C-alpha cells in the first residue's frame, strides 16, 4: 500500500465515520424500519453497488434483448438507406468495401495484426497511425519477467509554489510561498505554510495551517508527515466536517492498514433526525396531529444533549462486513450520568441495510409465549450476519430453547424453539426484485394483505406486489391509489386456531394461486392543523380470487367507504365493507374468509396526556355469518408510553393471543457528542464499500526522486513531478 493512497484512505474514513454510530441497534423487535428524515434513498441508490441475484439476471436478459433489437433496427435502417440511395452510389466502391471491412474487424471476425498494419478478412491492408516514440512510451505497458508489467504514469505528485530552495548538504527541498501539492491519481490537494521533501529519507512534511482536500471536503491540521518508505502518515490536531458531524483528534496515525485517532471527539451542531420505527398493529399513532406546545421531547429537543464517553472504539472493515465495538463507555444526558456498559458490538454489511448487535432479546411470540435471552452475533458469507439467542420461555409452563436470526441485504429469517410449548416457529422473507419477494414460514402468522394475518403449518409463497398512485384523478387533491398482488404458494393447513371448536383443520397441503387487487379513490379531504382537526373520506373496492391444487376455489369481493378523522386528540379510522364471497378453501384454519357479508373495522386512538396514548383495533361482523361464529374477528388493545420521541408500545391481540412490545425512537444529532481516548479503524479504505479492482492510474509514489535541478534557489518553480522509474505494478 502506497503513501498517497494512505492519505486518501484517511480522508475517506474521516469523511464517513459518522455513518457508523447512528444506526438502530437497541430495538429487540422484528421488522424494524429505519427512517432517516435527512435523506430519501431512491431505488437507484439502493441498488447502486449490489442488487438481488434475480434482478441482476432479469436486467442482463433484458439488456441482451434490447441490444439485439437495437442492432437489428440499425441494420434495417442501413438497408433502407441503401435502397433509397441514388444510382451513382448503388455500386460497390472502394470506400464501401473499406467500411464493411472495418465493421467486420470491430466485431472481432478474421482480425490479425502485426507491428504496423491490420490484416482484414478480405486481405486488404490498412496502415495504422504511427504514434511518436514519446506517446508510445507514455501509454505503453512493458511486459517483464513473471508477468509483471511496468506502467509509465504521469504527474504522480505535482507541487506548485512561489519559491523552492534545494539544500545540497542534507538533500532537503523546501517549498514556501503558498505551496500547493496535488496527487492527480487520487485527486487530493494539500496546502500549508511550508513543505519539505528529503530525497534521502523519502519523507514529505507539511507544516502550519495544513489543509488536505478531496472532493471538496477539507481536513485541517497543524502538521502532517508522510513517510514514503515506511508507508505511514502522521498528523497533529486534525479537524474535519462531514454532513452531520465534526471530528477532532489531537493525533492521527495511518500505518499498516490502520487509522488511529487519539484523544478525539465527534460532535454535531446541526439537526439531522433519525427515526427508528418498529412494526406495530392497530392505530397508526404517527398520523395524529400534535401541536408543538404539547410535544414532549426527551431525546431530540432543542436543549437535549447526549454524550457518549468511551475508552476505546474499534472499527473493523472486513471484506463483506463492518463492525463497531465500543468499550468502557459512559452515557450522559444533559451532563447527567445514566449508565455504563463495558462492551457493545454492532455488525452491518457494506451498504448498511441492517444492523445487528449483541443486545439481549426480550419479547413475546404466539405459540412460544414470553421469551428472554442474551444475543451473540457472528459474521456470515456474502455480507450477512447470524445472531444466536439461547432463551427461556413461558407458555403454560417454563421452558428453555433458542433462536436464530439471519440478516442480509435482501433476506430476513427468524427461527425459534421453546420447550415450554414444545413447538418451533419459522418466518422469513427473501427480496427477489423491486416488487417480487419470496416468503416462507411455519407456525407463524403470515401476511395475507386485507384478508388478515393467518397461521399455516407450512408456507412457501412467491409474491408479486405493486402499487401506484394517480394524482388528481377525479379532481385536484383527489388521488386514486391502485395496488395488486399475485402469488403462487404451497401451503399446509394449520393446526392452531383460537376457535378450533368451530373451525377444524383438514391437515391438507396443496398449491394455491391467488390474485388480489384494491382501488382506493379519495373523495374529500379537510385539514386544520392549528385546531387539530382533519377529515378524509375515500371509497374502496377490493377483490380476491384463488384456485387450489385440489380444484377448489375462493372468491371475495368487497366495497365500502373509509373515513379518517381527528378532533383535538381523539383520532379514529372507520371502514365498512359490503361483501360477496364464495369460499371453498381446502385449508379453513389457514385462509378461510372470516369477516362475513357485512363487516366494519374500527381503529381508535386517544392521547390522554404527553406520556400516554391508548388505542383499540377491532373488526366486527354485523351479519352474524362468520365461519367461527364470533362477532369480533380482530380485537387488540395498544398502550403507548413515554415522550413523543421515545415511545414504548405495549399491545395484546386477543384473537391471536400475542403480546406486542415495540419501541419508536426519534434521535436528533444536534448536541450529540462521542468522546474517545482511542479510535482504531482497520482497513479504512474498505469502510462502507466492498473491495474493488484498482484503477491502473491509482498507482502512487513509493520511493520516487524529484526532478529538480541542483541550483540553490528556483524562482516560482511551477511543477515538480515525483516519479519512480523502477516502480512495478502487478
pLDDT score, position 727: 34
For the domain made up of 154-242+693-723, give the CATH fold: lipopolysaccharide transport protein A fold (2.60.450)
d(CA 577, CA 360): 43
pLDDT score, position 539: 97
d(CA 481, CA 470): 6
pLDDT digits (tens, 9 = 90+) for 222-256: 999 888 777 788 889 988 877 677 889 999 988 77
Taking 60 as the threshold, does the pLDDT of residue 145 lie above it? no
Cβ–Cβ under 8 Å, residues 216 and 198: no
Cβ–Cβ under 8 Å, residues 219 and 240: yes
Q: Supply the DSSP symbol for 420.
A: T
Mean pLDDT over 579-599 rounds to: 93
Q: Is 699 helix (H, G, I), strand (E, B) or coil?
A: coil
Mean pLDDT over 383-405 rounds to: 91
Q: Is 314 helix (H, G, I), strand (E, B) or coil?
A: strand
**What is the band of 268 on the pLDDT scale with cuts at 50, 70, 90?**
confident
| Residue 588 dihedral angles phi and psi, to the nearest 5° | -65, -40
| Domain range annotation of the chain | 154-242+693-723
Mean pLDDT over 691-705 rounds to: 39
Q: Is 628 helix (H, G, I), strand (E, B) or coil?
A: coil
Cβ–Cβ under 8 Å, residues 387 and 354: no
Q: Which of 148-162, 373-387, 485-499 has the lowest mean pLDDT?
A: 148-162
Max CA separation in the chain (angstroms): 104
Mean pLDDT over 312-316 rounds to: 91
- Average confidence score pLDDT of the chain: 77
Cβ–Cβ under 8 Å, residues 412 and 404: no
Of 254, 205, 156, 149, residue with least CA distance to 705: 156
d(CA 383, CA 373): 25
Q: Counting runs of H as helices and runs of E as strands, what totals does the chain give?
A: 6, 45
| Residue 401 dihedral angles phi and psi, to the nearest 5° | -175, -155
Q: Which of 316-320, 513-517, 532-536, 674-678 has the lowest mean pLDDT?
A: 316-320
d(CA 470, CA 543): 20
Q: Which of 20-29, 106-115, 494-503 has the lowest mean pLDDT?
A: 20-29
Which range of 200-209, 211-220, 591-600, 720-729 scores highest in mean pLDDT? It is 591-600
Which range of 206-220, 341-355, 411-425 scores highest in mean pLDDT? It is 411-425
Mean pLDDT over 419-431 rounds to: 90
More confident residue, 95 or 633: 633
- For 625, the grid coordinates are 355469518
- Centre a 10 Å sphere on the Cβ of residue 323 and count the other Cβ atoms it contains: 19
Taking 90 as the threshold, does the pLDDT of residue 577 lie above it? yes
pLDDT digits (tens, 9 = 90+) for 72-84: 888 888 888 877 7
Q: Is 137 helix (H, G, I), strand (E, B) or coil?
A: helix
Provide long-range contacts, Cβ within 8 A and 24+ apart, for 332-341.
332/306, 332/307, 332/308, 333/304, 333/305, 333/306, 333/307, 334/303, 334/304, 334/305, 335/305, 335/307
Amino acid at each position: 500500500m502506497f503513501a498517497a493512497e494512505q492519505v486518501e484512505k484517511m480522508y475517506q474514513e474521516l469523511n464517513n465515520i459518522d455513518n457508523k454510530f447512528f444506526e438502530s441497534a437497541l430495538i429487540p423487535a422484528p421488522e424494524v424500519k429505519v427512517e432517516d428524515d435527512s435523506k430519501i434513498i431512491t431505488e437507484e441508490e439502493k441498488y447502486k453497488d449490489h442488487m438481488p441475484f434475480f434482478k441482476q439476471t432479469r436486467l442482463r436478459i433484458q439488456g441482451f434483448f434490447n441490444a439485439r433489437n437495437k442492432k437489428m433496427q440499425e441494420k434495417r435502417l442501413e438497408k433502407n438507406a441503401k435502397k433509397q440511395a441514388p444510382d451513382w452510389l448503388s455500386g460497390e466502391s472502394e470506400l464501401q468495401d473499406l467500411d464493411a471491412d472495418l465493421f467486420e474487424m470491430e466485431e472481432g471476425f478474421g482480425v490479425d495484426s502485426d507491428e504496423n498494419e491490420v490484416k482484414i478478412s478480405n486481405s486488404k491492408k490498412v496502415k495504422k497511425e504511427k504514434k511518436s516514440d514519446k506517446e508510445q512510451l507514455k501509454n505503453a505497458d512493458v511486459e517483464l519477467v513473471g508477468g509483471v508489467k511496468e506502467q509509465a504514469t504521469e504527474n504522480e505528485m505535482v507541487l506548485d509554489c512561489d519559491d523552492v530552495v534545494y539544500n545540497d548538504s542534507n538533500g532537503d527541498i523546501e517549498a514556501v510561498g503558498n505551496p500547493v501539492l496535488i496527487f492527480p491519481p487520487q485527486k487530493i490537494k494539500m496546502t500549508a505554510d511550508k513543505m519539505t521533501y528529503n530525497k534521502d529519507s523519502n519523507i514529505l512534511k507539511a507544516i502550519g495551517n495544513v489543509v488536505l482536500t478531496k472532493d471538496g471536503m477539507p481536513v485541517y491540521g497543524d502538521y502532517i508527515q508522510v513517510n514514503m518508505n515506511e508507508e505511514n502518515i502522521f498528523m497533529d490536531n486534525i479537524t474535519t466536517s462531514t454532513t452531520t458531524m465534526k471530528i477532532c483528534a489531537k493525533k492521527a496515525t495511518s500505518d499498516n492498514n490502520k487509522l488511529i485517532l487519539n484523544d478525539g471527539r465527534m460532535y454535531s451542531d446541526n439537526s439531522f433526525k433519525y427515526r427508528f420505527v418498529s412494526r406495530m398493529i392497530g392505530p397508526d399513532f404517527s398520523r395524529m396531529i400534535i401541536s408543538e406546545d404539547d410535544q414532549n421531547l426527551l431525546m431530540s429537543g432543542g436543549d437535549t444533549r447526549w454524550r457518549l464517553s468511551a475508552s476505546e472504539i474499534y472499527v473493523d472493515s472486513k471484506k463483506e462486513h463492518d463492525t463497531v465495538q465500543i468499550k468502557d463507555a459512559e452515557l450522559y444526558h444533559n451532563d447527567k450520568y445514566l449508565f455504563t456498559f463495558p462492551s457493545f458490538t454492532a455488525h452491518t454489511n457494506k451498504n448498511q441495510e441492517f444492523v445487528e448487535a449483541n443486545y439481549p432479546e426480550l419479547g413475546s411470540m404466539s405459540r412460544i409465549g414470553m421469551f428472554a435471552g442474551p444475543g451473540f452475533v457472528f459474521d456470515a458469507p456474502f455480507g450477512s450476519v447470524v445472531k444466536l439467542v439461547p432463551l427461556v420461555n413461558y407458555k403454560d409452563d417454563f421452558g428453555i430453547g433458542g433462536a436464530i436470526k439471519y440478516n442480509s441485504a435482501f433476506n430476513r429469517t427468524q427461527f425459534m424453539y421453546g420447550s415450554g410449548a414444545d413447538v418451533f416457529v419459522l418466518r422469513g422473507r427473501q427480496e427477489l426484485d423491486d416488487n417480487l419477494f419470496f416468503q416462507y414460514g411455519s407456525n407463524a402468522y403470515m401476511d395475507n394483505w386485507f384478508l388478515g394475518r393467518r397461521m399455516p403449518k407450512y408456507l412457501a409463497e412467491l409474491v408479486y406486489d405493486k402499487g401506484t398512485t394517480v394524482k388528481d384523478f377525479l379532481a385536484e387533491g383527489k388521488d386514486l391509489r391502485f395496488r395488486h398482488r399475485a402469488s403462487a404458494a404451497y401451503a399446509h393447513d394449520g393446526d392452531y386456531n383460537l376457535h378450533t371448536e368451530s373451525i377444524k383443520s383438514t391437515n391438507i397441503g396443496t398449491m394455491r394461486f391467488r390474485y388480489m387487487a384494491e382501488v382506493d379513490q379519495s373523495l374529500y379531504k379537510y385539514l386544520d392543523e392549528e385546531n387539530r382537526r382533519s377529515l378524509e373520506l375515500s371509497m374502496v373496492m377490493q377483490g380476491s380470487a384463488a384456485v387450489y391444487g385440489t380444484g377448489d376455489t375462493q372468491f371475495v369481493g368487497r366495497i365500502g367507504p373509509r373515513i379518517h378523522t381527528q378532533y383535538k386528540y381523539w383520532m379514529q379510522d372507520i371502514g365498512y365493507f359490503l361483501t360477496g364471497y364464495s369460499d371453498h378453501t381446502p385449508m379453513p384454519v389457514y385462509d378461510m374468509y372470516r369477516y362475513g357479508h357485512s363487516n366494519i373495522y374500527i381503529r381508535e386512538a386517544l392521547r390522554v396526556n404527553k406520556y400516554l396514548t391508548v388505542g383499540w383495533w377491532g373488526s366486527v361482523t354485523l351479519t352474524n355469518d362468520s365461519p367461527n361464529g364470533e362477532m369480533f374477528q380482530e380485537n387488540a388493545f395498544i398502550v403507548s408510553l413515554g415522550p413523543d420521541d421515545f415511545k414504548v408500545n405495549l399491545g395484546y391481540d386477543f384473537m391471536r393471543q400475542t403480546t406486542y412490545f415495540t419501541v419508536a425512537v426519534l434521535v436528533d444529532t444536534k448536541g450529540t457528542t462521542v468522546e474517545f481516548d482511542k479510535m482504531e479503524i482497520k482497513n479504512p479504505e474498505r469502510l462502507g464499500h466492498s473491495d474493488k479492482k484498482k484503477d491502473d492510474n491509482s498507482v502512487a509514489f513509493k520511493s520516487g526522486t524529484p526532478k529538480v535541478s541542483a541550483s540553490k534557489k528556483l524562482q516560482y518553480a511551477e511543477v515538480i513531478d515525483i516519479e519512480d522509474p523502477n516502480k512495478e505494478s502487478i
